A and B are shown apart, each in its own frame.
Chain A
Amino acid sequence: MDRRDFLKFLGISSGTAMISSCGVDKANEKIIPYLIPPEQDVYPGKPVFYNTTCTECPANCGLSARVNEKVYDEVRGLFPTKAEGVKGHPINNGALCPRGQASLFRLYHPKRIQRPMMRDNDGNFRVATWQEAYAYVTTELQAAKEEKKDNLYFSGRTTGTLAGLIGRFCEEMGIERLPEFEIFSHANLRKANEIVFNQPEVPHYHIKDADFLLTIGADILETFVSPVSNAAQYGEAVKNENFTWYHLEPNLSMTGLKATTRLAVNPHSEIYFLAYLLHALSRSDIRKRRPSWAIMNMVPDPSAEEVSQKTGISAENLEHLVSAFFIAKRPLIITGGVSTAQPGGLEAALLTALIQAAMGMNDTVVDFAHSQNYEKVGSMLDVQELLERLRNKAVGVIFISRSNPVDDISANFNFVEELKNARLRVGMSDFMSASMQECDVVLPLSHSLESWGDAAPRKGIRNVIQPAIEPQYDTRTEGDVLLEIMRTASGQKQGPDYNQYLIEQWHSLYGESETVSLIENGYIEEPVSPLSIAVDTRSVESYLKNTDFSREVAAQPVLIITPSIRTYDGRSKVLPLLNEIPDPLTTVTYGEWVSVSAVAAKKMGLKDRDEIQISVENENLNYPVKVQNVLPENVYMVQRGLIYAIKTDIDSRSGEASWYLDNISATKTGAVIPLPILSGSMHEEGRGILSSHESVVEHSEHYNEKLKEEVDVEEERIYPKHPHKNYRWGMTINQDSCINCAACVAACYVENNIPVVGQKEQLQGREMSWIRIEPFVRDDRDIEFTLMLCQQCDNAPCEPVCPVYATYHNPEGLNVQVYNRCVGTRYCSNNCPYKVRRFNWFDHRLPKPWDKMYNPALSVRGRGIMEKCTFCVQRIRAAEDMAKDEDRLVRDGEVVTACQETCPTKAITFGNLMDDSSRVSQIARSDEAYRVLEELGTEPAIHYLRKKERKSEA
């Protein structure tokens, strides 16, 4: 529809009318919801934002979708072109993780299921109509009942209204609702909390309030429960001068590398340390509430020597740690991830809970009142039970919704085979996942950006899910599907659709006005009743009675299947962007690999990309190697989601799936497998890039005094200094708070239409990222990261060499690239010491319909053109135009670059260096400030803040 109609339509639109109209009702398919009267809001070409919820992982961050009006396929329409975090959202406060940034690639994914599918007589999928599907399913449900078989509802974690609806659905249809399935179910954690506090919950950790953080295995900055929230809080916490963070882990994680002190522990040995800590605690006088003697007596009391011998933590480090823990005012201890997903995981979690109780953390930093909504989530025990029932042919119709058990459940349970025993398998999903392949009826679900709904990630928070684009295919929301099936079953023609159902719910919960604000803000905070958390001594004792702590440390070497910041548990693997972006730690992009410690690699004579065979019992797995410094010698790492083929056990008590393969053997096969590893070298060789390097320190000091005492640069330099007009755009990157999560990288890709080139090109060394994370090994004990992007040099070596002025220094200090003028000599890139320029070796267009998400604010570069970061010049221009209209200069903080906007820890500051009062220029003047390769005299506009030196080394 053309713009006039569009605006006319907006004129008559109003909140609730909108909502009802944006569902199945085909008449107003094109309707886009507005809540505020649109006339004031919508200007042609100016994007609008809808606050909704990110459904890429269970954390359910607030997601604000930027919708641009643009012409696609000769049709003017509104398309979500960028995902941002919802400002001030209690979980992610404006930030997103790389997965959230990439979620648009799911919305527009060409492989999405576009219409209902059913098996034909030969068992192949055929397109079906919804009515057909509904009728079939209802009859099958009926038939199954008659066969005395149980109909089951198996879904991923579900919260909010939908959870309720599913309940109602199951009741009415006589379906048994199974515990929800998440492979990262935190079963041990919840089990332990149940034993200790009668709270089978994943609590909410107030990291930002802690002055001492002790994390054991929990990769809080990557995937643990609610990573963005954790990261955001970490960003707050590090502002506190004496914030200390110890991280214990058997493997190597980016989280660990961010900790003040990272201590490697032998696999499965965490409990010794925790027991030691607990006793040390109860002996000392700082504890708030000592656990009962009975408990203390049942917990083994290892000596410091024993502990350091078992765990491999040196006695002195142990000493440091414990004393630091004790002097802390608000300590916080979190155990999770690799340390709970192991045979001794339950004990570890339990001891942790006891320590938390003893230190009185439950009143402050460990918050059960706002615990994450995991109560409906089951564990592998439930899966086992399900398998049992399938085996006994006791299952009729089984609904599999929003989950991919076939891939997630370790192969040794052969879920696939057992699933065949059900009478009918009804799948609900947006993708033809392995699980959907096993179903008879596949009902396509709308993406969360196409549908209405809500979510309650943790107690006290309700997120709205609202459409930013009308459904692109013949898909439904799960809510609508359930309602329809119920209606079909009950034979009634008309009934409320899910939207109306939602509104009723919301109205009954919050009332009219609150509902509107819920939709406007994207979330609402509900009051929660405070809980008094106390140790249930009896249950703890009864548990401890039949527990054997004398668990042996894992037989090494071990293989650890870690979650991945790029794919979570594997569900985001389908998003090409997340394959294109390197894994920050290894810089590997496409493909599967196993990380082998440098030491082991040396012994086996392994180089990157050499293939090794990992054998355990009679299982063999072959993968290319990525040599990983700092990783303990006998630990091998693979990432879940990249690799499914690994068979792991479960904890029979809690149902936690183990992440370990103990006692493996690794041998070099001699083959070499092409694996795109983007880092040319992990060793910085003191080149003045790492903040820890002396020359950097030196230079930064020189630079700072230059700034402070206004040393006359003319005296030193051969060129006269050139003037800037009003603005000298600059950036600071705080390496202390930067967690290298690569969210900025993903954001940059989406904002700037950066091509996704794929594996073949990357193997050639032709990645296109404008901003990248560079890991560098620092004296083999630590890995430091640097964020590298165009430094917008004042004396940029790339500029003068361009024969056609395609790149030059604009009056605002930007090193701009004129795409239309570029002839592609590539001299600029050759001459860039930071190598941040990217050349289009081919025409890289996103295949349809991915190209719907192109940002209309800037062009898509064709072949033979050099491109690069320009500090999101389109955003700068927008701000400047607005300022111009209001006849003023751009205010500090008015321009927000894509990388800055999405940064969970707010490590990036952007602004005008010419304005001394701006935050960026103040930070740039701080003593930590330094610039990369200062000695080249390129006068970069990006200032890095030196990482604070670590107090003690592991």
Chain B
Amino acid sequence: MNKLQLKPVMLGIAAIVIGAVIVLIQNILIPESGGTFLLTLTFWVALIQGAVAVVAAADASAAKWITPLKRELLSFYPLILFIAILFLFLGLQMDVYPWIDKQNKWLNVPFFLVRNFLAMLVLYIVAHFYAKATLANSEGKGRWAIAYLFIYVTVQSLVAFDWVMSLAYPWVSTLFGGIFFMEAFYTGLVIAALIAAYYLRKEVEDPVSMSKVLRDTAVFTFGFALAWAGLFYAQFLVIWYGNIPEETSYLVIRMHHSPYMEIFYVSVFFLFILPFVGLIGRKAKISPNWVTLVAFIVLAGIVLERILFILPDASINPIAAVAEFILMGFLFLLFFASRDQFIKALEMSK
């Protein structure tokens, strides 16, 4: 992996290139399927912001367990900016939204793009200062961490309510935002687990603390599997019980009709049952391979769930989706690989 290390400038260029390609795919090859783009955005926005959020949360609560993975997780924070910019191109495909022809004070294209972009921009800036602070282990890291978490919650809520929920306008669920920032955090944890497991197998860092980290991340993953189930259930139960057609229609199509039905069950299995059962045992929590497997399943689960949210209301082009996924994944790895480079740069910058 070390071959991949790039200087920050090169990283930037790589990012721009990849971004450009994705935008091209979206607007030249499959201009009609905005769902694909939305899928890419909603998945990676969770992954990237979540990874940073995990570190921030640990700092804010003065917990030390994540310290060995700080640099790794923080290495993704520049991508926050990348997603922000990439998001602007959603403006070219606003027709995925049903409210497009009856826009109102809140839901109208300009405001939609501006508020989301700005929010993410601010998040990036804060992430930047937070990264500096926490890597330097300075006094203010706690405050920056809290600031980051604040905006992170805001952004993820916007992602939920604006990007995804408004696909099913006028359907509304107040818990949607909560589910999203919780899932993003879930994803972040899983990434942490992956990295820890990776290190353990490569035996780069000192195994003792790493195995500790692995166990803790595993424990938290286990916990979040429960939390996910809880939130999902909280939302489902209320709608199911209330039985108001306007609300239930959203669930009915996703739970009673093929192929969404299958996607739904699989994602529940991936996001709750498997991690729950899989990580309940003491040994399971400390086996790198097993944790890696579970982690990947959870990631898959998140992807499936995003698809489930989007697909019934906006078409997704599988090939394009895969292509975009690979591109983003590559970019993601690039940043991970060359973390030392720009973290050094970061620590230089005054």
On whether A and B touch (CB less than 8 Å), the answer reads yes
B341 within 8 A of A: no
Q: Is the CB of A717 within 8 A of B241?
A: no
Q: Is the CB of A716 within 8 A of B243?
A: no
User: Which residues, 704 to 737 on A, are CB-close (under 8 Å) to B?
Assistant: 715-719
Q: Is the CB of B244 within 8 A of A937?
A: yes
Q: Is the CB of B245 within 8 A of A716?
A: yes
Residues of chain A with a CB closer than 8 A to B173's CB: none
Residues of chain A with a CB closer than 8 A to B246's CB: 935, 937
Interface range on chain A (Cβ under 8 Å from partner): 10 to 19
Q: Is the CB of A795 within 8 A of B243?
A: yes
A800 within 8 A of B: yes
User: Which residues, 219 to 273 on B, are CB-close (under 8 Å) to A?
Assistant: 239-241, 243-246, 248-249, 251-252, 255-256
Q: Is the CB of A936 within 8 A of B244?
A: yes
Q: Is the CB of A717 within 8 A of B244?
A: no
- Expressed in whole angstroms, the Cα–Cα distance for A797 and B244 within the complex equals 10
- Expressed in whole angstroms, the Cα–Cα distance for A716 and B253 within the complex equals 8
Residues of chain B with a CB closer than 8 A to A936's CB: 244
- Expressed in whole angstroms, the Cα–Cα distance for A776 and B246 within the complex equals 26
Pick from A715, A718, A797: contact of B240, CB under 8 Å: A718
Residues of chain A with a CB closer than 8 A to B252's CB: 715-718
- For B, the interface residue count at a CB cutoff of 8 angstroms equals 13
Chain B, residue nearest A718 (CB)? B248
Q: Is the CB of B245 within 8 A of A937?
A: yes
Residues of chain B with a CB closer than 8 A to A718's CB: 239-240, 243, 248, 251-252, 255-256
Q: Is the CB of A800 within 8 A of B241?
A: yes
Residues of chain B with a CB closer than 8 A to A795's CB: 243
Residues of chain A with a CB closer than 8 A to B240's CB: 718
Q: Is the CB of A719 within 8 A of B245?
A: no
- Expressed in whole angstroms, the Cα–Cα distance for A564 and B249 within the complex equals 49
For A785-800 the 0/1 string (1 means CB < 8 A from B) is 0000000000101001
Chain A, residue nearest B248 (CB)? A718
Chain B, residue nearest A719 (CB)? B243
Residues of chain A with a CB closer than 8 A to B251's CB: 718
Q: Kindly provide the distance from the CB of B74 to the nearest chain A CB, expressed in whole angstroms.
A: 44
Q: Is the CB of B241 within 8 A of A935?
A: no
Residues of chain B with a CB closer than 8 A to A715's CB: 252
Chain A, residue nearest B251 (CB)? A718
For B150-178 the 0/1 string (1 means CB < 8 A from A) is 00000000000000000000000000000
Q: Chain B: interface secondary structure?
A: helix
Residues of chain A with a CB closer than 8 A to B256's CB: 718
Q: Is the CB of B241 within 8 A of A716?
A: no
Pick from B239, B249, B255: contact of A716, CB under 8 Å: B249
- Expressed in whole angstroms, the Cα–Cα distance for A797 and B243 within the complex equals 9
Chain A, residue nearest B249 (CB)? A716
Q: Is the CB of A935 within 8 A of B243?
A: no
- Expressed in whole angstroms, the Cα–Cα distance for A935 and B248 within the complex equals 12
Residues of chain B with a CB closer than 8 A to A800's CB: 241
- Expressed in whole angstroms, the Cα–Cα distance for A723 and B249 within the complex equals 22
Residues of chain A with a CB closer than 8 A to B255's CB: 718
Q: Kindly provide the distance from the CB of B164 to the nearest chain A CB, expressed in whole angstroms.
A: 21
Chain A, residue nearest B242 (CB)? A797
- Expressed in whole angstroms, the Cα–Cα distance for A717 and B256 within the complex equals 10
User: Which residues, 924 to 954 on A, are CB-close (under 8 Å) to B?
Assistant: 935-937
- Expressed in whole angstroms, the Cα–Cα distance for A937 and B246 within the complex equals 9
Q: Kindly provide the distance from the CB of A688 to the nearest chain B CB, expressed in whole angstroms.
A: 13
Chain B, residue nearest A795 (CB)? B243
- Expressed in whole angstroms, the Cα–Cα distance for A717 and B243 within the complex equals 8
Residues of chain B with a CB closer than 8 A to A716's CB: 245, 249, 252
Chain B, residue nearest A801 (CB)? B241
Most chain B beta-carbon contacts within 10 A, residue among A715, A718, A795, A797: A718
Q: Kindly provide the distance from the CB of B191 to the nearest chain A CB, expressed in whole angstroms.
A: 36
Residues of chain A with a CB closer than 8 A to B249's CB: 716
- Expressed in whole angstroms, the Cα–Cα distance for A795 and B242 within the complex equals 10
For B274-285 the 0/1 string (1 means CB < 8 A from A) is 000000000000
- Expressed in whole angstroms, the Cα–Cα distance for A800 and B244 within the complex equals 14
Q: Kindly provide the distance from the CB of A795 to the nearest chain B CB, expressed in whole angstroms.
A: 6
- Expressed in whole angstroms, the Cα–Cα distance for A936 and B245 within the complex equals 7
Q: Kindly provide the distance from the CB of B247 to the nearest chain A CB, expressed in whole angstroms.
A: 9
- Expressed in whole angstroms, the Cα–Cα distance for A718 and B245 within the complex equals 8
- Expressed in whole angstroms, the Cα–Cα distance for A795 and B252 within the complex equals 17
Chain A, residue nearest B239 (CB)? A718
Residues of chain A with a CB closer than 8 A to B244's CB: 935-937
- Expressed in whole angstroms, the Cα–Cα distance for A719 and B241 within the complex equals 10
- Expressed in whole angstroms, the Cα–Cα distance for A718 and B255 within the complex equals 9
Residues of chain B with a CB closer than 8 A to A717's CB: 243, 245, 248, 252
- Expressed in whole angstroms, the Cα–Cα distance for A797 and B249 within the complex equals 18
Q: Kindly provide the distance from the CB of B237 to the nearest chain A CB, expressed in whole angstroms.
A: 12
Q: Kindly provide the distance from the CB of B170 to the nearest chain A CB, expressed in whole angstroms.
A: 12
- Expressed in whole angstroms, the Cα–Cα distance for A445 and B244 within the complex equals 59
Q: Kindly provide the distance from the CB of A70 to the nearest chain B CB, expressed in whole angstroms.
A: 43
- Expressed in whole angstroms, the Cα–Cα distance for A716 and B249 within the complex equals 6
Residues of chain B with a CB closer than 8 A to A937's CB: 243-246, 248
- Expressed in whole angstroms, the Cα–Cα distance for A898 and B244 within the complex equals 32
Q: Kindly provide the distance from the CB of A728 to the nearest chain B CB, expressed in whole angstroms.
A: 19
For A766-810 the 0/1 string (1 means CB < 8 A from B) is 000000000000000000000000000001010010000000000
Chain B, residue nearest A936 (CB)? B244
Q: Kindly provide the distance from the CB of A891 to the nearest chain B CB, expressed in whole angstroms.
A: 34
Q: Kindly provide the distance from the CB of A107 to the nearest chain B CB, expressed in whole angstroms.
A: 47
Q: Kindly provide the distance from the CB of A713 to the nearest chain B CB, expressed in whole angstroms.
A: 10
Q: Kindly provide the distance from the CB of A828 to the nearest chain B CB, expressed in whole angstroms.
A: 14
User: Which residues, 4 to 38 on B, are CB-close (under 8 Å) to A?
Assistant: none
Residues of chain A with a CB closer than 8 A to B241's CB: 800
For A209-252 the 0/1 string (1 means CB < 8 A from B) is 00000000000000000000000000000000000000000000
Chain A, residue nearest B240 (CB)? A718
- Expressed in whole angstroms, the Cα–Cα distance for A667 and B188 within the complex equals 72
Q: Kindly provide the distance from the CB of B256 to the nearest chain A CB, expressed in whole angstroms.
A: 8
- Expressed in whole angstroms, the Cα–Cα distance for A719 and B245 within the complex equals 11
Q: Kindly provide the distance from the CB of A572 to the nearest chain B CB, expressed in whole angstroms.
A: 44
Chain B, residue nearest A713 (CB)? B245
User: Which residues, 629 to 681 on A, are CB-close (under 8 Å) to B?
Assistant: none
- Expressed in whole angstroms, the Cα–Cα distance for A797 and B241 within the complex equals 9
Residues of chain A with a CB closer than 8 A to B248's CB: 717-718, 937
Residues of chain A with a CB closer than 8 A to B243's CB: 717-719, 795, 797, 937
Q: Kindly provide the distance from the CB of B250 to the nearest chain A CB, expressed in whole angstroms.
A: 10
Q: Kindly provide the distance from the CB of A420 to the nearest chain B CB, expressed in whole angstroms.
A: 70
- Expressed in whole angstroms, the Cα–Cα distance for A800 and B239 within the complex equals 14
Q: Kindly provide the distance from the CB of A160 to the nearest chain B CB, expressed in whole angstroms.
A: 60
For A673-695 the 0/1 string (1 means CB < 8 A from B) is 00000000000000000000000
- Expressed in whole angstroms, the Cα–Cα distance for A800 and B249 within the complex equals 20
Q: Kindly provide the distance from the CB of A714 to the nearest chain B CB, expressed in whole angstroms.
A: 8
Residues of chain A with a CB closer than 8 A to B245's CB: 716-717, 935, 937
* Cβ contacts A to B, 5 pairs, < 8 Å: A716-B245, A717-B252, A935-B244, A937-B245, A937-B248
10 nearest A-B residue pairs (beta carbon) = A937-B245, A718-B248, A718-B252, A937-B244, A795-B243, A936-B244, A937-B243, A718-B240, A718-B251, A718-B243
7 extra interface residue pairs, beta carbon distance < 8 Å, beyond A717-B243, A935-B244: A718-B252, A719-B243, A795-B243, A935-B245, A935-B246, A937-B244, A937-B245
Which residue numbers of B lie inside 8 Å of A, CB to CB? 239-241, 243-246, 248-249, 251-252, 255-256
